[in-house]
Amino acid sequence: MVVGPSGAGKDSVISAWLRGQPRAARPHRVRRTITRPADVHEAHESIGACAFAAAREAGAFAFHWQAHGLDYGIRHGELAALAAGGWVVMNGSREHLAQLRAVAPQARVVEIDAPAALRQRRLHDRSREDAEGRAARIVREAPPAQADLRIVNDGSLDEAVATLERWWNAIVEDRATGDCGISTPGAGVVASET
């Protein structure tokens, strides 16, 4: 699970890292359902608030949370790779890590952060919110992630990806030798937060 504040560059790091993974072994990138219009920055399922509430009440989501005035959800089908012994990369929320850990104690957590000034510039560049919305994202506080890996993404994208890749390779090697402490077959989750 990859978490961290808005503008830390989580999606950029995840996308670049996944492109470098062999197709056969590449973790499935979970598509989120969000009560936000479609945009070029994330290929999410855009849904209205009433439809989201109905889907939530019908049990359509394995996980769901609220942040920044939006509803986020992960449909059950997006986690199908886990049952087949694979991995998934999933956007999540620092505030809802306890919910994830309660149902998936084997989940690994990566926290990506960056200095506030850099995050502010990135949020401005993506032009998703107005100035007030960007400011709210910058000052938002969340509980400590207690992450397995923390990346400060204030250098080049290649540096951040290389850090993630080294960590990932160690996990894959541990899993291959049966030394990873994962008690259920193939159950691995890697995720990220907006």
More confident residue, 130 or 49: 49
Sheet strands side by side (includes 2-3)? 2-3, 110-113, 149-152
- Structural domain includes residue 10: yes
- Structural domain includes residue 120: yes
The string of pLDDT tens digits covering residues 50-73 is 999 999 999 999 989 888 789 999
Per-residue confidence (pLDDT) for residue 90, from 0 to 100: 86
CATH at 102: 3.40.50.300
- Structural domain includes residue 45: no
- The total domain count for the chain is 1
Query: Between β-strands 70-75 and 149-152, what pairing exists: parallel, antiparallel or unpaired?
Result: unpaired
pTM (predicted TM-score):
0.78
- What's the CA gap between 33 and 161, in Å, rounded? 26
Q: Please say whether the beta carbons of 32 and 44 come within 8 A.
A: yes
- Structural domain includes residue 187: yes
DSSP H or E segment with residue 113: strand 110-113
- Structural domain includes residue 51: no
- Structural domain includes residue 62: no
- Structural domain includes residue 150: yes
- Angular region, 4: left φ>0, alpha ψ -120 to 50, beta rest: left
* Domain of residue 133, residue span: 2-29+83-191
For the chain, what percent of residues have pLDDT higher than 90?
47
- Structural domain includes residue 69: no
Per-residue confidence (pLDDT) for residue 175, from 0 to 100: 72
Residues with Cβ < 8 Å from 38, sequence gap 6 or more? 44, 46
Give alpha helix (H) positions in 22-179.
49-57, 80-83, 97-103, 116-126, 131-139, 157-176
